[in-house]
Amino acid sequence: MLHIIYLIAISAEAASGALMALRRKMDLFGVAVVGTATALGGGSIRDVLLGHYPLGWVQHPEYLLYTIVAAIAAALAARLLHRLKSAFLVLDALGLVAFSIIGCDIAASAGVHVSVVVLMGMITGIAGGLLRDILCNQVPLVLRRDLYATVSLLTGALYMGLLHFNVEQHIATLVALAVGFCFRLAAIYFVLALPVLETDEA
């Protein structure tokens, strides 16, 4: 099940990268590159930091195909997606939560400390979006808004906590997925955010 969610997640992330690339007037090639980097970048950065080789897409090049197709499809359907914005946010929320859980799984199998596991889950969840924003020359949104990264951290912490108390893996996955997903949707709906400290020097 997580595999199917993973495929939906990388497609949604690829689409989000493609739409931002489009706004930056990139050509179709740039759209494909930014889309692919957004979708696969988080996992790649996690694996490079862990020294966990080969990377996912090096071993499964078909992932590249999915993300390129999703990015180009999203670019071609850009006007339509405007209206589908809520569907898009839902997919993106699902992707964020799924990425976080998958990232925890891979980091846990590398045998690192649980705090690093949860952090690696978060890196998997948000680093793709970071890369997208750097490639498009923006201050990364994920560092500014909507409890995005907080949702990722809490999902990972919940998942690892459940496993720690010997909850069966399928159930832990489902619970973390559901709770994280609802939390993210609530954050969007109620426009929750962490406080921004005031500063004089802005």
Residues that bind its own copies (CB under 8 A): 21-31, 33-34, 44, 48-51, 53-55, 57-58, 61, 64-65, 75-76, 78-79, 82, 112-113, 115-116, 119, 130, 134-140, 143-145, 147, 149-150, 193-197, 199-202
- CA separation for the pair 111, 123 (Å, rounded): 17
Question: Cα–Cα distance between 36 and 32 in angstroms, integer?
Answer: 6
Min CB(30)–its own copies separation in Å? 3
- Residue 120 near residue 112 (C-beta atoms within 8 A): yes
**Which one, 109 or 169, has the nearer CB to its own copies?**
109
Min CB(64)–its own copies separation in Å: 7
Residue 141 beta carbon to its own copies: minimum distance, rounded to whole angstroms: 10
Helices (H), the chain: 2-23, 28-50, 56-59, 62-76, 78-83, 85-109, 114-135, 148-164, 169-189
Residue (166 or 199) nearer to its own copies, CB: 199
End-to-end CA distance of the chain, in Å?
Answer: 47
CB-nearer residue toward its own copies: 3 or 25: 25
